[in-house]
Structure 1
Amino acid sequence: MSGLVIIGASYAGVQAALGAREAGYSEPVTIVADEHSLPYERPPLSKAFLLDKTREQKLVLRDEAFFASKEIDLLLGHRVIRIDRTARQVALVDGARLDFDKLVIATGSRARRISIPGAELDGVCYLRTVTDAIDLKARLGRAGEIVTVGGGFIGLEVASSAAKLGKKVTVIEAASRLLERAVSPVVSRFLLDAHAQAGVDVRLGETVISMTGDAGRIAGIDLGSGGRLRADLVVVGIGGIANDELASAAELKCANGIVVDEHGRTEVPGIYAAGDCANHYNRFAEGWLRLESVQHAQDQGKSAGLAIADSHEPYDSVPRFWSDQYDLKLQIVGLSGGCDQMVTRGSIQEGRFSIFHYRQGRLVAVDSINRPGDQMAARRLIAARISPTPGQAADGSFDIKALLKTIDKAVV
């Protein structure tokens, strides 16, 4: 029995299956995943789950009955080890083979490992899966002094959760500011102050050169500046690597991920890829891009699913990201790289503001702290290439949402 086989029960994989089904694809659909868990939400792992505000069962995206109702078979706890393009089969680690007419590779990404002496010590952790989160949660309960290596989303979210639990937390970031590639200097400074107020020690422009242990367990870290910190738990968050090895071994084109078009198609007919593992041309980046974001994975997965059902809708979503730290909601829409002007809307002092990024007079991105309305408007404006002037964006009395009427009239 052939049909559609999806490797990975990720956001992209699940959405590809649903997109195909909802567009009328009637052939068998099978999702193969190496994890034993039902498809689950990942963003809460570094926040609500660590703080015991949600349980593992609540993370499940859809239950078994839902997938059964859509006639989507879940093959959990089975790892694909090879894609045979010629035979149109995937081989599983247990020796089984699955035939396919269509294939979606939605294998996501994995945490980048740190390569320094002592990195293998017990208590040096990464956070990517629910299994990682369960282990980290247990370790947090026993730990007193915690170091997060990396001032990106994972490092800062774990630091926030650990600080809320009353732990002594230090963040080590090699760059000159937090989230340097994602947000404006104003937002970086605001987040730095928020962490400092929560008692977190943030070390910018600092590196970890080795880790020391006691009886095989982490006991401290050595810094590039020459200092040393005690630590009985280290969480490393230094980025992700595309899981494109299966595709590469099958001689699919890969370059920092599996190269796909706007429909998630690879260069091989009938084989698609979507989500963190895929590299696509993005008009908002004006270049090739591999995104790690929930909304991207869902949207690109849906496009792949529709293409499989011959109901084509190209992926063209504005990139979106978010992060919850303490009582702050950071939301980002667009890509701010290469911007040449920034203006502030709202009140930094009140903790409710947005930074509007411009490139040659055109709005390309907006970072917001606790201002979801700005995000909703900016998403549509950036997609339509409609820009308030910098003066209008900075003027709190100017109704930015009024510009959306231009889009609505065009649709009518």
Structure 2
Amino acid sequence: MRTVTVVGASLSGLYAARELRAQGFDGRLVIVGDEPHRPYDRPPLSKDFLTGRADEDQFALADADETAELDAEWLLGTRARGLDARGRTVLLDDGRTVSTDGVVIATGASARRLPGTDLDGVHTLRTLDDARALRAELTRGPRRVVVIGGGFIGAETASSCVALGHAVTVVEAAPLPLVPQLGPELAAVCAALHRRGGAELVTGAGVAGLRGTAAVTGVALADGRTLPADVVIVGIGATPNTGWLAGSPLALHDGVLCDDGCMTVLPQVVAVGDVARVGGHRAEHWTSATEQPRVAVANLLAGHSAETVRSLPYFWSDQYGARIQFAGRRRDGDTVRITEGGLIEGGPTGGAPAEGGLLALYERDGRTTAVLSVDRPRPFMRARKELERAERRVASGAA
């Protein structure tokens, strides 16, 4: 290959560029990004950046020396609008084309929006520009903030807003936040963190719409209630950025469909990060975005799936001063066993972790399938490593 184009100046895009150079590709390297910014770290946006503990110049993922070493052509502030039928040309929205021998798709995902999000005071939080706008809004004095969605972004943003002194209500359509990820028993832990942290949590309530003319004034719930709001933050998940690939030969279904090695139906095209559905799964986690590129690049350069992704899912979240860590593959029906710490039962904080946090194992058929920690980082790391070793044994066919 003489030219490889990375579409997406994201975390996974940068890691793919690094892997290309590390694995011996010395040809032309083009990196296309729809944002004007060089790759930056997104997790701090909902935490330290919003609260003012960190500034955006601390989030750069590559310094000037590394950027120079990559020897890449950066086409920033430019959106890809198409991939030709043979996957050999990337079409850009400014009319330019990039002829290429290989493509790494790393276009990530975009925040889902609600009707009425054109009102002043309504925000999503996905990009640096999103975070800038929201931080400016939150520094204008006390606000009534409604966060729609109790997932990780919603919970972290709500926690930051509480820390800034705002009155915060979190609206979650499910009976508990994070049930798909944690299961009902331990999702109650996250619900209790909201209440203990000072946010009001409204569960089992759908959103009927937003109220206001020029600026938002409230959130109408499906049960007829209206929550007054000066600021609304919509955190209802993300949609993979695959629209630009419509009409290409690639298979698209909630992401770019790939085999276990991140390869698409075109051998010269791979996908990584939030946009990639690898082996039937799409993971919007930092670890997936950093681990997939090594395998994807190796397979791209080889021209076939010589390697597969075997990383264990892992994510973390900081909420109301608590560090939540999770690793593994939980499924409905798994039993939960708390091995360290415990829960405070009863009252409005039912399900809250006791002082010192907790460590819980998910189990199925005598095997540990996942592990959850609240403020128990060292025991969690030990349990995670054991889980990884067990998974390798299973993958190798050992008992």
Q: Report the CA distance shift for 1:339/1:21 in structure 2 as closer, same or farther (over 3 A).
A: farther
Matches within 5 A, 1:121-132: 121-132=119-130
Q: Give the corresponding residue for 1:202.
A: 201
1:236 paired residue number: 234
Residue of structure 2 equivalent to 1:262: 260
| Deviation, structure 1 residue 361 | 1.8
- The letter for the 2-side match of 1:230 is P
The 5 Å alignment of 1:288-367 reads 288-310=280-302, 312-348=306-342, 349-367=354-372
Is contact 1:212–1:221 with CA below 8 Å preserved after alignment? yes
Give 1:102-181 correspondences, 5 Å limit. 102-115=102-115, 118-142=116-140, 144-181=143-180
Q: Residue 256 of structure 2 contacts residue 264 of structure 2 at CA under 8 Å; is this kept in 1? A: yes
Structure 1 residue identity aligned to 2:286:
V
Alpha-carbon separation, structure 2, partners of 1:342 and 1:94 = 53
Cα deviation 1:341-396 (Å, max 9, x = unaligned): 1100211312421121112222111111011223322333333336xxxxxxxxxx
Alpha-carbon distance in 1 for matches of 2:14, 2:169:
37
Q: 2:187 corresponds to which residue?
A: 188
CA distance in 1, matches of 2:173, 2:47: 23
Amino acid at match of 2:287: Q
Q: Name the SS of the counterpart of 1:266 in structure 2.
A: coil
Cα offset for 1:186?
Answer: 4.1
CA distance in 2, matches of 1:89, 1:64: 29
Residue aligning to 2:31? 31
Per-residue CA distance 1:142-197 (angstroms, 9 max, x = gap): 25100000110011101100000010000000111121111143432232222212
Q: Any idea what SS the aligned residue of 2:139 has? A: helix
Whichever residue aligns with residue 307 of structure 1, its letter is N
Q: Does 1:93 align with 2:85?
A: no
Please list, as runs of the form range in 1=range in 2, the aligned pairs for 1:398-409 lying within 5 A after superposition.
none
Counterpart of 2:324, as a letter, is L
Instruction: Tell me which amino acid in the other structure corresponds to 1:91.
Output: L
Question: C-alpha displacement at 1:271, in angstroms?
Answer: 0.7
Aligned partners of 2:114, 2:331: CA distance in 1, in Å?
26
Residue 44 of structure 1: SS of its match in structure 2? helix
Q: Which amino acid aligns with 1:358?
A: E
Which secondary structure does the structure 1 equivalent of 2:205 belong to? coil
What TM-score does the superposition give when structure 2 sets the normalisation length?
0.91
Amino acid at match of 1:376: M
Q: Give a deviation string over 1:186-229, Cα, whole Å, max 9, x none.
A: 43223222221222110111122121114x10011111222111
CA contact (8 A) 1:38 1:63 kept: no
**Structure-1 residue corresponding to 2:41:** 41
Corresponding residue of 2:347:
none
Q: How does 1:273-284 map onto structure 2 within 5 Å? A: 273-281=271-279
Superposition deviation, residue 335 in structure 1: 1.9
Q: 1:210 and 1:70, CA in 2 relative to 1: closer, same or farther beyond 3 A?
A: closer
**Counterpart Cα distance in 1 of 2:309 and 2:119:** 42
Q: CA RMSD in A?
A: 2.2
How many Å separate the matches in 1 of 2:86 and 2:281? 29
Question: How far apart are the structure 1 equivalents of 2:167 and 2:103?
Answer: 47
Structure 2 residue corresponding to 1:245, chosen from 240, 243, 246: 243
- Equivalent AA in structure 1 for residue 288 of structure 2: H
Check the 8 A contact 1:333/1:378 in 2, yes or no.
no
Write out per-residue CA displacement over residues 125-146 of structure 1, whole angstroms, 9 at most, x where no aligned residue: 1111000000010111225100
SS at match of 2:233: strand
Deviations 1:211-261 (A, max 9, x none): 1114x1001111122211110000011111111122333120112111112
Structure 1 length normalisation: TM-score? 0.88
Farther-moved stretch of structure 1 (327-336 vs 241-250): 241-250
SS in 1 for 2:380: helix
Separation (CA, whole Å) in 2 of partners of 1:209 and 1:52: 33
Per-residue CA deviation, residues 295-317 of structure 1 (Å, 9 max, x unaligned), is: 00111122112223339542110
In 2, the alpha carbon distance for the partners of 1:271 and 1:72 equals 19
Match of 1:401 in 2: none
TM-superposed CA distance for 1:2, in Å, is: 4.9
Residue aligning to 2:389: 384
Aligned residue pairs: how many?
A: 382
Deviation at 1:63, TM superposition (A): 2.4
- Which stretch shows the higher mean deviation, 155-164 or 139-148? 139-148
How many percent identity over aligned positions?
A: 36
